[in-house]
Amino acid sequence: MGTPRTRTILGLLLVVGLGFGTAACGSGADDTEEGGRVTLVINGLPPATEAANHQRFLDNVAEFEKLNPDIDLEPREGKMDPQTFAAKLAGGQLEDVFYVYFTDPANLIAKRQVADVSEYLADFPVTQQIKPEVLRVFQDDKGGVYGLPYKNYSMGLLYNRELFTKAGLDPANPPRTWAEVREAAKKITALGDGHVGYGEYSKSNTGGWHFTAEIYSLGGEVAVNDGGTWKAAFNSAQGKQVLQQLKDMRWTDNSMGERQLLEWSDLLQLMGSGKLGMYVATADNIPTIVNQYQGKYETYGLGPIPGGAGTLGGGEGYMFNAKASPAKIKAGLKWLTFWFTSAERFEAENKWSADNKIPIGLPEPAIFTGDAAQLQAAADAKYANVPQENYAPFKAAMPSIPVKLEPPNAQQIYAVLDVAMQKVLTERDANVDQLLADAEKQVNQILASVR
Amino acid sequence: MIGDNLLAYAFMAGGLACFALFSWYPLIRGIMLSFQQVNFVTDPYWVGTENYVALFEDPLFWTAWRNTLVFSGIALVFGYLVPLFLAILMNELRHLKGFFRVAVYLPVMLPPIVVVLLWRYFYDPGNGLFNTVLSAVGLPTSQWTQSSGTALFSLVLVSTWANLGGATLMYLAGLQSIPGELYEAAELDGASVWQRLRHVTIPQLRFLMLVLLLLQVIATMQVFIEPYQLTGTTNPDTITVMVLIYRYAFTVNNDFGLAAAMSVTLFVVLAAFSAVYLRLTRSQES
């Protein structure tokens, strides 16, 4: 009597157990490569809500597969999300070729979470034309290459031309020094009605990020390599000048608004609302302000970073899963040099973007040198559909302002520098010297701990 | 013996499997993780107590614990006494009982993220609701979450407002289960309102108050969304244990071993409180 029932129950339990077991094991990407066919999982596919971009990506995939019948691309949505990256990696769900920001590679290389692709680059000549300082983002200290860049930006001063005109400032001539920024911010604030002259970040690492751009603009450094060891270098005249200027603008001039502890989207939103005069930004902020916060391209101008002794550069690119086989790496490099890191593609991409009302001609530093750079410049000029004269000040100054990259362990350092930015913007009697000294101590600890 | 009860064990097996998979396994794995370095490509490797050494050397560890304890302390003063006071008031009401019950519980029904975004607007030092009202009646305005003096207190206010409904309803249920005869007897003896409160209500609610106290300690120590959303992960004035765990794992260090070590310290503290809670409930039941 009891036996069949017991058997049934045990059978059920077994099924349940197996269900749990298989649910607990992540299924990795298919790694079989039969008959020389390679299946390559890639990300960067724009979400279906961005219909045009989404379709464009899929069209590129189809075209690539036609040219390379032995490669199957499996596109997936999504870019770099630090919060899901580790989980995807752990679950074997990380794409073979995945999107990164310039802040990611150093960390991924140090943790050995990416594959070295140096030995395959000789077959892809366009990679020889990538600017060495941009390629360096994707290299380890021995020169091994782990990925390829796609876009590069550098920081300038984004400003509202209409408010400039209203405040009696010349929109064709944005401030070139921090002293001029301070004066302009006062005039814009004087318009009243909740206008904010100059906006600044101080939350979620964005404060430290802007501090870095601003200290570079004065010729300062955040960290320097001193005989093989990194040391904090921002407790300097330039570091003091950055914080003191912000403190004066916030508390003496009242030209930065009451609301502080702002993070990335806050200033874009404020700019879109027409209430903000200026903030330090990259050109790619402009389309976001237009699309998400109801701005108009005609309203915004981009000038060089005030001070002009240097600026912070960032960008995006693609890297390779540490577990990718040589066949997958080769296929991945084919894909990247077919589209993202490809000079031949600029013409077709720009034509398509122009047809689809997607902005062309925002001023960005090229990722290439030589012929490839010229191809890109020609294609950009041909299809430009956003007001080029608004970015003329930025473009004119671009060749003379050196683009510097982020310090090592950037995010950790930014988190520390956030505190200094927060304090000067939220405490009237903040002690600049003390803040820099405290931050210096902590950053030196970060730079000393090779974890 | 087991054979006789096989069916019973079979019924339990599903629940046990779920517990094992979703509670015990992650717990043990988390403790293991705190002694390991993880990169998700190679297998995690053991680093002994390295994560804990790094943790105790990080000044933020102590800052986060101090902030969490201060937050819990202030949150208890408000979140513990205010609901009790409200429940007693509501219990004395003759009219509109239902309305007040719903009103006090409404904030609990709002998703926490909505609560926080709402309060961000209240607190905005420029043109937020609070400062607008304060300046309209001629009182000095405050920087709220944006000044080290008032930031933590401001977060407590959000958290208390969002969560007091639950505690209030529990107290109310407790109050309504106090036998009416006790009050009648007290009234016959000529007890005043305060005396009734002191000698009847509070003693009858004592156990419920103790349980709620422990539950609130456990809950407030895990505060995350208010500091994370309103003041960020880099603010030393408001960084709490949970925010620091998040920061270690996802936003700054990307170091799961370090985050796990921090989680273990929180686990130890909360386990101690939970043990007290279990012991109390058990002694009450027996």
Q: What pLDDT is attached to residue A28? A: 38
A365-391 b/e (C-beta count within 10 Å ≥ 16 → b): bbbbeeebbebbeebbeebbebbeebb
Which of A111, A113, A427 lies closest to B147 in CB terms? A427
Residues of chain A contacting residue B43, judged by C-beta atoms under 8 Å apart: none
Q: What pLDDT is attached to residue B30? A: 94
Contact B17 A411 (CB under 8 A): no
Contact B145 A261 (CB under 8 A): yes
Q: What is d(CA B74, CA B80) in angstroms, rounded to the nearest whole number?
A: 10
Beta-carbon-side half-sphere exposure of residue B196 (alpha carbons within 13 Å): 19
Nearest-by-CA chain B residue for A86: B40
pLDDT interval class at A394 (50, 70, 90): very high
- Residue B249 DSSP class: I
What's the distance, Cα to Cα, between the start and end of chain B in Å? 29
Q: What pLDDT is attached to residue A34? A: 57
The number of beta carbons lying within 10 Å of the beta carbon of residue A310 is 21
Q: What is d(CA A139, CA A20) in angstroms, rounded to the nearest whole number?
A: 41
- Residue B238 DSSP class: T
Q: Does residue B33 carry a pLDDT above 60?
A: yes
The number of beta carbons lying within 10 Å of the beta carbon of residue A231 is 15
Q: What pLDDT is attached to residue A321? A: 94
Average pLDDT over every residue of A398-426: 91
β-pairing, A156-160 vs A38-45, is: unpaired
Residues of chain A contacting residue B146, judged by C-beta atoms under 8 Å apart: 259-261, 426
Average pLDDT over every residue of A14-39: 49
Q: Does residue A6 carry a pLDDT above 50?
A: no
Q: What pLDDT is attached to residue A21? A: 37
Q: How much is the pTM?
A: 0.80
C-alpha angle A43/A95/A136, rounded to 5°?
A: 80
Average pLDDT over every residue of B111-118: 92
Residue A255, sorted as left (phi over 0), alpha (psi -120 to 50) or beta, turns out to be alpha
Distance set, CA B193 to CA A59, A135, A226, B170, B183 (Å): 79, 79, 75, 22, 10
Q: What pLDDT is attached to residue B1? A: 62
Residue A168, sorted as left (phi over 0), alpha (psi -120 to 50) or beta, turns out to be left
pLDDT interval class at A15 (50, 70, 90): very low
Whether the CB-CB separation of B74 and B152 falls below 8 Å is answered with yes
Q: Does residue A387 carry a pLDDT above 50?
A: yes
β-pairing, A97-101 vs A311-320, is: antiparallel
Whether the CB-CB separation of A96 and A332 falls below 8 Å is answered with yes
Q: Does residue A78 carry a pLDDT above 80?
A: yes
Q: What pLDDT is attached to residue A27? A: 35
Q: What pLDDT is attached to residue A450? A: 43
Mean pLDDT of chain A: 89
pLDDT interval class at A410 (50, 70, 90): confident
Average pLDDT over every residue of B182-210: 87
Range of lowest pLDDT (A29-43, A322-336, B74-88): A29-43
B→A interface, C-beta within 8 Å: 6-7, 10, 13-14, 17, 21, 38-42, 54, 59, 124-127, 131, 143, 145-148, 231-236, 247, 249-256
**One-letter amino acid identity for A126?**
V
β-pairing, A311-320 vs A403-404, is: parallel
Nearest-by-CA chain A residue for B17: A17
Kindly report the nearest CA distance between residue B268 and chain A, in angstroms. 25
Q: What count of residues does chain A have?
A: 451
Which of B59, B126, B255 lies closest to A258 in CB terms? B126
B140-156 b/e (C-beta count within 10 Å ≥ 16 → b): eebbbbbbbebbbbbbb
Range A70-73, long-range pairs (CB < 8 A, 24+ positions): A70/A36, A70/A37, A70/A38, A71/A37, A71/A38, A71/A40, A71/A331, A71/A334, A71/A335, A72/A37, A72/A38, A72/A39, A72/A40, A73/A40, A73/A42, A73/A335
Q: Does residue A84 carry a pLDDT above 90?
A: no
Average pLDDT over every residue of B254-267: 93
Could you report the per-residue pLDDT of A124-149, keeping only the tens digit for each?
Answer: 999 999 999 889 999 998 999 999 99
Whether the CB-CB separation of A286 and A160 falls below 8 Å is answered with no
Whether the CB-CB separation of A71 and A40 falls below 8 Å is answered with yes
Q: What pLDDT is attached to residue A16? A: 38
Residues of chain A contacting residue B129, judged by C-beta atoms under 8 Å apart: none
Per the model's pLDDT, the better-predicted residue between A51 and A274 turns out to be A274
Contact B232 A418 (CB under 8 A): yes
Residues of chain A contacting residue B253, judged by C-beta atoms under 8 Å apart: 412
Looking at A148-306, list the stretches that DSSP marks H as alpha helix, in order from N- to C-terminal side.
161-166, 178-189, 206-217, 237-247, 264-272, 285-292
Per the model's pLDDT, the better-predicted residue between A50 and B242 turns out to be B242
Q: What pLDDT is attached to residue B285? A: 65
Q: What is d(CA A60, CA A47) in angstroms, rounded to the nearest whole number?
A: 15
Average pLDDT over every residue of A261-287: 95
Residues of chain B contacting residue A444, judged by C-beta atoms under 8 Å apart: none
Residues of chain B contacting residue A273, judged by C-beta atoms under 8 Å apart: none
Q: Does residue A305 carry a pLDDT above 50?
A: yes
Contact A204 B232 (CB under 8 A): yes
Kindly report the nearest CA distance between residue B18 and chain A, in angstroms. 9
CA neighbor of A211 nearest in space, from A254, A244, A252, A177: A244
Q: What pLDDT is attached to residue A439? A: 94
Specify which residues A153 forms β-bridges with. Answer: A314
Kindly report the nearest CA distance between residue B114 and chain A, in angstroms. 17
Q: What pLDDT is attached to residue A86? A: 79
Contact A90 B40 (CB under 8 A): yes
